[in-house]
Amino acid sequence: MQRDTRQRRAIREVVMVQASPLTPLEILTEAQKLVARLGLATVYRNLRMLLDEGFLREVLIPGDSPRYEQAGKGHHHHFFCFRCGKVFEIAGCRPEVNTLVPAGYIQEFHELTFYGSCAGCALEVAEESGNAGTR
């Protein structure tokens, strides 16, 4: 069992209050508000320890750096916004997803990631499109 340092407590607190998975840099930025002299190497070291102890779960988005969220949230999926680069949680899962598994295969788990523009970015796109026509 690792010592519970104030840096690790700050990282835990940041992850616990966020509604979406965070990159190490996002964790660093928020945790520095609690522990000003926190460094990126310390964040990475503590992320590994928090993964090992089962507090964190790694969220992998193809083509992007790993993100981290609190483990034990229950089954959910993610939405990646191409415009702002944020990842959002999508609660639950539709049961018909399991019907996509071919006959004779045994599904152990699944992860789905949706891609597009989040609500905020979609609104900006709509506003830009609307403004472009009035010039």
Beta-carbon count within 10 A of 46 CB = 23
75-102 pLDDT, tens digit each: 899 999 999 999 999 988 888 888 899 9
51-81 pLDDT, tens digit each: 999 999 999 998 888 999 999 988 899 999 9
Cα 78 from chain centroid (whole Å):
8
Pick the CATH number of 1-72 from 1.10.10.10, 1.10.150.80, 3.40.50.150, 1.10.3720.10: 1.10.10.10
Q: pTM higher than 0.95, yes or no? A: no
Q: What are phi and psi of 113, to 5 degrees?
A: -125, 130
Strand pairing category for 87-91 and 113-116: unpaired
CA distance 26 to 7: 15
Name the CATH topology of 74-135. Dna Ligase; domain 1 (3.30.1490)
Helix (H) or strand (E) holding 70: strand 67-70
